Amino acid sequence: MTNFDIDAPPLLAQLVHKHQAPWINFDNLEAWLANQHGDHVLLFAGDPIRFPEAVDVAVVLPELQKASASVGRPFGMAVAVPDTAEALAKTFGSQRWPTLMFFRDGDYVTTLSGMHDWTDYLALLAQALATPKGRAPTIGIPLVSSQAPTASCH
């Protein structure tokens, strides 16, 4: 996955440059998901001015990665490009900031939003990594064909 330079808060950029977490946007999301093996976490930080916790989560994420690896559940990291993060998060049904979105083998697993105490984070991380693959909580509005017979709600 190619990293590219973008204008981002320093602690988000540090995840990319120091911890080799790729930037993810609409252009490379599909390729990133297709090339995943195992567990991965995509950080949707949001605007650190509006959501100051975003910076805290950016600092804690590498520590969570270390803790997870030490108990045999390593995960990779990625960071949503700030300019497209909100729209990208909405494609997965997420509207809370900051959010850690978990994927396994390229499939959605769950999300963990907000900042937490360390002990709580470790418990929530273990729970997230034990969660089976699922379907992202998108809007979920069913499509009805104009050719389909009229159905009632009862």
Contact 77, 61 (CB under 8 A): yes
pTM of the model: 0.85
pLDDT category at 140 given cuts 50, 70, 90 is low
pLDDT category at 9 given cuts 50, 70, 90 is confident
Q: Pick the more confident residue, 95 or 104.
A: 104
- Give the span between the Cα atoms of 46 and 85, in whole angstroms: 7
- Predicted pLDDT of residue 145: 47
In one-letter notation, the amino acid at residue 81 is V
* DSSP assignment string, 98-124: SEEEEEETTEEEEEEES---HHHHHHH
- Mean of pLDDT over the chain: 87
**% of the chain exceeding 90 in pLDDT:** 68
CA quadruple 66, 24, 56, 105: dihedral sign? negative
List alpha helices for 3-117, DSSP H: 10-17, 29-34, 53-70, 82-91
DSSP state of 137: -
Q: Is residue 47's pLDDT more than 50?
A: yes
- Predicted pLDDT of residue 88: 94
- Predicted pLDDT of residue 14: 92
